[in-house]
């Protein structure tokens, strides 16, 4: 059994996390990149990783993981999670032409994962998004004490997913809100970051008025 560490978002404490078998639930491109890195870190710690994706997903399991293709509902996920100490829920819809297009995975799907994790006796680490919190006020950085104020349909769906997790009675959970995730293999955010870097020398600057 390996031991990793995590920050408990509810009180800020660093707690040991005993991991023997861990389920990574991911089936989107961004989640897949995260899954590869999470799997590598846990593999180095000696954990056994089981990757779970939906049957229709085009994503493949991270190298070295046991792959299971399971529908996104609690009844199907429960046996897939059996024996796991921890379930890391990474899957999410980040782009949709309809506001309601986010809910099937980000809310309903997240609740299914949470209920299945509880029934399997596993701790749930739910990867949400900073979009669930919304932007910081102009006067100070955002803190966890500020009420969430998401401004996009995606952010509102991620907040609803967080609340669905918190409402599952008897579940041991931690929710994390990363910012933008980009890197090798990314076709959405990385090109924008490269463009910003290449054009950084051309940012227009306004002339300050003379004090004389």
pLDDT of residue 13: 38
- pLDDT digits 0-9 by tens, 119-176: 999 999 999 999 999 998 888 888 888 899 999 999 999 999 999 999 999 999 999 9
- pLDDT digits 0-9 by tens, 18-66: 344 556 655 554 455 677 777 777 777 777 788 887 777 666 666 666 7
Higher-pLDDT residue of 181 and 188 is 181
Catalytic residues: 154
pLDDT of residue 97: 80
Is residue 17 predicted with pLDDT exceeding 50?
no
**Geometric angle at alpha carbon 10, from 34 and 174, rounded to 5°:** 35
What does the CA dihedral 52, 94, 173, 17 come to, rounded to 10 degrees? 60
Handedness of CA 24, 6, 172, 31 (dihedral sign): negative
User: What pTM does this model have?
Assistant: 0.74
């Amino acid at each position: 059994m390996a031991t990793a560490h995590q920050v408990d978002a509810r009180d800020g404490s660093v707690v040991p996390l005993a991991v023997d078998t861990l389920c990574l639930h991911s089936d989107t491109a961004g989640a897949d990149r995260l899954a590869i890195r999470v799997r590598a870190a846990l593999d180095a710690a000696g954990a056994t990783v089981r990757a779970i994706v939906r049957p229709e997903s085009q994503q493949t399991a991270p190298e070295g993981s046991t792959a299971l293709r399971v529908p996104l509902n609690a009844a199907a996920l429960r046996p897939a999670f059996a024996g796991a100490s921890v379930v890391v829920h990474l899957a999410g819809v980040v782009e949709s032409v309809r506001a309601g297009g986010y809910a099937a995975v980000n809310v309903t799907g997240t609740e299914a994962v949470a209920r299945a994790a509880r029934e399997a006796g596993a701790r749930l680490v739910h990867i949400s998004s900073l979009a669930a919190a919304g932007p910081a006020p102009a006067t100070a950085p955002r803190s966890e004490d500020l009420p969430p104020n998401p401004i996009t349909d995606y952010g509102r769906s991620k907040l609803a997913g967080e609340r669905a997790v918190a409402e599952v009675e008897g579940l041991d959970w931690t929710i994390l809100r990363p910012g933008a995730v980009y890197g090798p293999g990314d076709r959405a955010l990385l090109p924008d970051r490269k463009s910003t870097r290449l054009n950084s020398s051309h940012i227009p600057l306004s002339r300050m008025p003379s004090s004389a």
